[in-house]
Chain A
Amino acid sequence: MGKFVILVFGMSMLSNLLFGQTNCTIKGLVVDENNEPLTGATVLLSPIERATITDAKGNFSIKNIPKGKYKLQISFIGYHSLIDSVRMDGDKTYNARLRLAALSLQEVVVKNNYVESRKKDESLDIEIVNDNYLKQNLGGSLMNSLERLPGVSNIDIGSGQSKPVIRGLGFNRIVVVENSIKHEAQQWGADHGLEIDQYAVDNIEIIKGPASLMYGSDAIGGVIDLKNRKLPAENSFGGVIDLSGKTNNDFLGTSVLLYGRKKWFFVNFRATLLDYGDYKVPTDSVDIYSYRAALHKNRLRNTAGKEQNYHLSFGIIKKRFHTRFYVSNTSSKNGFFANAHGLEPRNVDTDLHDSSNRDIQYPYQKVEHFKIINISIFSWDKLRMESNIGFQRNFRQEWSQYVNHGYMPPIFPDTLSFLPDLERQFEKYVVSANLKFLYQLNDHVQVNVGVNGEYQDNRIDGRGFIIPAFNQKNIGGYALGKYSLPQNQMIQFGVRYDYGVINASEYFDWFPSPVFENGNTSMQYLMRAENIKQDFSNISWSLGYNYHPGKWSYKANLGKSFRMPIAKELAANGVNYHRFSYEVGNPNLSPEISWQLDMGIEYSSRNFAIGMTPFVNYFPNYIYLNPSSEHDRLYGNGNQVYYYTESRVFRYGLELHTHYELFKSLQLGIMGEYVYSEQLSGKKEGYTLPFSPPPSVVFNIKYQKQKIKFLENAYLSLDYRIVAPQNNIVPPEETTKGYQVINVAFGGNIKLKNHSINITAQVQNLLNTKYFNHTSYYRLINVPEPGRNLIVNISVPFSGNFKQK
């Protein structure tokens, strides 16, 4: 067995090694059923939450343990965890033999102790969830499934696409990382979702705060770090079939995973197929600005879609070396609400659109995302080196019926290279590489050093212009030191330097428009974007402090993060077909800077926990798309012009959570979030930022039992969400009324021989309440949120073992 678990569990455990100064020591040896030493098994001592990892010979030791009684937990991927209680009244030796689990894939790799120690090790506020959480909260898209987490929300457009929002910041201010490589797509676009297969993710870490230090430009608002790191046990093979259904949009989905592993070589393959119809809203008609559109049978016309995703991963797991390849392709096609796409709200051919709720008519988008990623890790006693290399291609097309706008010819000429109905096309090629070193200098000091580089080439096509073709290079390097102090304290400090260049190409209209000059009108091919070459550099840093005395934990982090302006902000010049606006970039924007102070305070005992994570944030130059009082006269149909401008922005907020275990089987919880933003300068001084999430609170009651007749790990959970009105708005938003929604979730496992079938079910919006979500793109056109939705997921595993020689 390799030493890879150290890598899997990362540096989080290491710091825990370094604390303390008292009394006894526990040491021992961890072996498998054949008495072979297990390297990298986690050994955790509760409730003092001291943990370590076994070394290459399977040995572990935890020093300086105060006298007392403890719970000892030894766990290792692919093996049953061992839990025992130990009395420490002097030095002790504890040897353990772990039994191989029948299906290691079913084991939750992300144990609570990992989550806890990872949270304690990070001075920013983070949330960590695993695939069980995703299944229990399965939504229309990955971000939908995560929005229950405090501080996390999303900007939706339709039922299958949503963009991550952390504490009110979204778009290019949030970095999404999948398997250590930054996911690069058309994240600037309003109608663009994440090309991530939520069935293929097993660990999600959400950093709620600026994390440019480790993740580079764009991580100014936070990070969503997705990992797919479950490994089959040695000499095993098997699979899992997931079947999902949703009643609201007649969703049918299946995801099939096959895996196998000989001693050190493993292969996983997953295919996901999803197909859904138009979603239902509890209303008969919607008012799109001033236009009223009737809906047929409560269905939001043409929001059906489908998705096909394939993933292959394989790799080598050796003692000191570990390499994994991930190859994936996600492709989706989904319709846009037909009445609200274009230059103005549209009349639609209802006979065509309403004949079926599963067909995808114009307007729709097709998105393909292909990725190859390699993660390789070398580890020595004190040094660990990790390299990540990635290649991505994102290809997105928007299709809609040709309608001449501006001075486009009424009859589409047949001399052009693109089809008349191709509204826009974006093609992006990205090569990224990271190299990271982790060095354990001594018992107190750990050093992280790394470099990241990325090159992207972006091409455009189609009849409509919004952003130019461009290429972009980024390179950055960082160093981060963690210093452990006595009494469970830790200080970390990091510095990063980034350099980036963006080259945008000029663009001329393919049709002439009348230009009035010196009293004469001439027809000219207008230049929409000029050649732009801009380079940016920045130094960012972060200083953090953690302190964990007993059941309390405190953290504070002060940092400066940054973000390079994106091509759209520098050079946009076209119509936003979802907002009927004309958007204009500004080539003179400077890199966005953010200063943020994050804090966390938490008390947690065996049956009660309460915590609060406040933050204060200041942007000297927040880049903002400002609706002006001007109108465009050469494109579209005389749309209102929105300019990219900079303003000073001040934000603060907090998340709160508490839970109390009334009985062993009954838990009560409350989660709340609040964000306030204000523009301190510029044309919108005094206004908030767009899509500001309103304050909200979720009251949860959860009943769970180890066994109810044939159902194991049964649970029944009720979420009562109260959302305050959002009256803090900025043009073109409308105030949104407060609302209350009830969601119910239940499920459990049914044991069949060696395997258990996992069933999860939810009823979202139990009372079919009509309400508006302020952070939905469709809020602007008065589309309420989906009505009642029953979601069921069934997960059927199967497995076997290769014969051992």
Chain B
Amino acid sequence: MKINGRYIIPFLCVLILFSSCGKDKEIDTDKPFIDISFPEAFPKNCDTIYFGESLNLRILLTDNSELGTFSIDIHHNFDHHSHSTEVTECNSDPVKDPVNPFIYIKDFDIPAGLKEHETNLSITIPSGDGNGIYDEGDYHFFISLTDKEGWSAQKGLSIKMLHR
């Protein structure tokens, strides 16, 4: 059996391609991190937030190369559909139907080039809207963080929202 030169050439080409295509660029494979373990952090799992007041969001966001953006979402958990990412269990109220639950969705930029960012953000929680005052009870406080590359981290906290 003789192997003709013209069949060897394409295979050699392939081999060359195979060997020449090593990774030359270091890529980021690390996810960012949301830290609420320090004493001043707020909110923490099972904390209470009051309507008609401002809350001071204190969370520490870190990444190995560069942070992206974060978002905060607060929605009702009257049916207990959400659970938290934390180990601690909170006492939840009985399941109930919503009437006028509070909703909050907002995304926030982080200044460019940061590997670490501690928020000190005041968020005003109104006590009601055109439909009346907001429902009290179990709410879910959801934090999502991305880094520049699109890796993400989430925190889901069980909180109570009450009128003072």
Contacts and interface: CB of A to CB of B under 8 A. Distances in A.
Contacts of B81: 342, 346-347, 401, 403
- Of B73, B147, B155, most buried by chain A (CB within 10 Å of CB) is B73
A347 B11 CA distance: 55
A125 to B, nearest CB: 13
Nearest to A556: B10
Given A347-B80, A683-B150, A634 B105 contact: yes
- Looking at chain A's contact residues, the main secondary structure is loop
Contact of B151 (A406, A597, A678, A731): A731
A731 B27 CA distance: 11
A678 B23 CA distance: 9
Contact of A638 (B79, B82, B105): B105
B123 interface: no
B82 A347 contact: yes
- Of B1, B17, B147, B149, most buried by chain A (CB within 10 Å of CB) is B149
B127 interface: no
B148 interface: yes
A633 B105 contact: yes
Contact of B14 (A616, A632, A638, A731): A616
Nearest to B68: A629
B150 A410 contact: no
Contacts of B144: 631, 638-640
A628 B150 contact: yes
Contacts of A614: 11, 14, 18
Contacts of A631: 69-71, 107, 144, 146
A798 interface: no
A638 B7 contact: no
Contacts of B153: 290
B121 interface: no
A410 B14 contact: no
A628 B81 CA distance: 27
Contacts of B103: 404, 407
A344 B73 CA distance: 11
A386 to B, nearest CB: 34
A594 to B, nearest CB: 16
B76 interface: yes
B146 A640 contact: yes
Interface string B134-157: 000000001010111111111110
- Of A291, A347, A405, most buried by chain B (CB within 10 Å of CB) is A347
- Of B1, B17, B83, most buried by chain A (CB within 10 Å of CB) is B83
B146 A628 contact: yes
B40 interface: no
Contacts of A639: 71, 144
Interface string B20-38: 0101011101000000000
A597 B10 contact: yes
A629 B82 contact: no
Given A630-B146, A650-B21, A686-B23, A735 B29 contact: yes
A676 B147 CA distance: 25
B106 interface: yes
7 contacts: A403-B79, A405-B75, A628-B146, A686-B23, A686-B25, A686-B27, A687-B27
